Amino acid sequence: MLDFTHDPAAQSWVASAQLPGCDFTLQNLPLGVFVPEGRDPHPRGGIAIGDQVIDLARLAASGLLAEPAAAACRVAADSTLNAFMAMGKQSWRALRHGVFHLLSSQADGRTQEQMRACMLPLRQADMKMPVDVRNYTDFYTSLHHAVNVGRVMGRENPLTRNFQWLPIAYHGRASSVVLSGTGFRRPNGQSATAERAAPAFGPCRRLDFELEMGFFVGPGTQLGEPLPLAQARDRIFGMCLLNDWSARDHQFWEMDPLGPFLGKNFCTSISPWIVSMEALAPYRVAFDRPAGDPQPLPYLQDAADRESGSLDVHLEVCLQSRRHRAQNLPGDRLTATSFRHQYWTIAQMLAQHTVGGCDLRSGDLVGTGTISGPTQDQAGALVELSRGGTLAVSLPGTGETRTFLEDGDSVSIKGWCEKPGFARIGFGECRGEVLPALDFGVA
């Protein structure tokens, strides 16, 4: 699974890619879609390296890549990455290998000069949605999150009986998936209180973030065709950071007896750069089930998935309030955890999604569900950190506290992988800001 592109000793002639803490190293090569500021307004695919972005439309026209990498580059240069995702593993790998050689410090001076003509600084790239997301599904695969939320909801048994038997999910709303940096209005809706017979209508009072990762489907499947778990891994193109903003008061009122609706459909943010599964390969870890837990049913079991189906991705969430910004402060960290604690793997999620015959399309977005680690300070949402709004979470930078999000709060998710013997790779950032609710003129 590992090859020369994972060699930690490999360096790029792009000097910024070697700086400590750089997310976009030579071993990463994440893909996104951008418009070069002040130039041609047509969106095109790009690959980030250090503080630069490679314009894949220019690279495709440069003649620098040989086949089959050149063909893959022409498709990846499109205004969305859907067609490139549909090409499959061989093409993804061809482009990765071809670009790696061109960016490697082994590349000759003439190649470097030609590559520079295909690149621009990241700060001059106006990032766009990388994928035309036609379907969005959100899973619920953190046992710690499920237990924490179950407790907040006052359930006698916080974990529902199905949780350890299948990866639970609901079909989300693709139209309101937005790119990092997009603000959204605090949603209006119905919420119920124990004291009043009728529900109240108004701005959400329990607005929350959810720390998640997203992954994108590569080659699709046919209607009626289940995807075996052993084949699911090769159908996943790569991953991004995802914030599944949630209106808890609306959600808890409306989702009885069906699933989430307005509590979840007003905004979902994703990071602009998609890190390929190929780049993530060194960070695969064994899928670890606590002793005594039920074993997955046969269609959710696979030797390779058990051996390396989980991923060790460090994740953290920061909140920057208006007061932080006024004082020029970066914000305070709310939580930090790893994706490796999830109870189900991303391949199991795809196998579950298709086992009844539901088809997948290239570029479909799948959310992993909130990522909460085993301890309270590793929880991936405010509803858990504040124990349902009963515990004030402190923001030491400004001395403020939060139980839920306030207007002007900007939430940033960061993710990266590092371990001895391998190069660091990172996802960049997924950020979004809460704007005041629309005024309906009603109490």
Nearer to Ca ion, 98 or 380 (CB): 380
Instruction: Report CA-CA distances (Å) from 412 to 122, 210, 218.
Output: 19, 11, 27
Q: Is 341 a known active-site residue?
A: no
Q: How far is the CB of 170 from Ca ion (least distance, A)?
A: 9
Instruction: Report CA-CA distances (Å) from 352 to 219, 317, 346, 349.
Output: 17, 29, 10, 5
Q: How far is the CB of 105 from Ca ion (least distance, A)?
A: 42
Nearer to Ca ion, 210 or 278 (CB): 210
Q: Which two tokens stand for residue 368?
A: 């992993």
Q: How far is the CB of 9 from Ca ion (least distance, A)?
A: 39
Given the rule CB under 5 A, which of 85-93, 194-202, 209-217, 332-340 is the region that contacts Ca ion? 209-217
CA separation for the pair 21, 129 (Å, rounded): 25
Given the rule CB under 5 A, which of 83-91, 93-101, 130-138, 142-150 is the region that contacts Ca ion? 130-138
Nearer to Ca ion, 138 or 278 (CB): 138
Chain Cα centroid distance, residue 293:
28
Q: Which amino acid is at 248?
A: R
Nearer to Ca ion, 210 or 364 (CB): 210
Of 42, 101, 144, 145, which one is the catalytic site residue? Answer: 145
Q: From the CB of residue 145, how many other CB atoms can be counted at a distance below 10 Å?
A: 26
Given the rule CB under 5 A, which of 5-13, 213-221, 237-245, 352-360 is the region that contacts Ca ion? 237-245
Given the rule CB under 5 A, which of 39-47, 171-179, 244-252, 394-402 is the region that contacts Ca ion? 244-252
Is residue 433 within the footprint of Ca ion (CB under 5 A)? no
Q: How far is the CB of 168 from Ca ion (least distance, A)?
A: 11
Is residue 384 within the footprint of Ca ion (CB under 5 A)? no
Nearer to Ca ion, 28 or 345 (CB): 345
Q: Which two tokens stand for residue 84?
A: 């490139």
Q: What DSSP designation does 295 have?
A: P
Given the rule CB under 5 A, which of 1-9, 230-238, 241-249, 305-313 is the region that contacts Ca ion? 241-249
Nearer to Ca ion, 263 or 282 (CB): 263
Contact pick of 23, 55, 138, 433 for Ca ion (by CB under 5 A): 138
Nearer to Ca ion, 210 or 254 (CB): 210
Nearest residue to Ca ion, using CB? Answer: 244
SS3 417: strand
DSSP codes joined into one string, 163-209: TTTS-EEEE--STTEEETT--EEPPEEEE--SS-SSPEEEE-SSEE-
CA separation for the pair 365, 177 (Å, rounded): 9
CA separation for the pair 397, 332 (Å, rounded): 6
Q: How far is the CB of 212 from Ca ion (least distance, A)?
A: 6
Q: How far is the CB of 432 from Ca ion (least distance, A)?
A: 14
Q: How many residues bind Ca ion (CB under 5 A)?
A: 3
Strands across the sheet containing 410-417: 184-185, 425-435, 410-417, 314-320, 332-338
Is residue 210 within the footprint of Ca ion (CB under 5 A)? yes
Contact pick of 23, 55, 208, 244 for Ca ion (by CB under 5 A): 244
CA separation for the pair 364, 135 (Å, rounded): 5
- Among residues 107, 112, 116, 163, which one has the least CA distance to residue 289? 163
Q: What DSSP designation does 319 have?
A: E
Contact 236, 215 (CB under 8 A): yes
Interface with Ca ion in residues 344-373 (CB under 5 A): none
The residues assigned a catalytic role are: 145
Residues engaged in binding Ca ion (CB under 5 A): 138, 210, 244
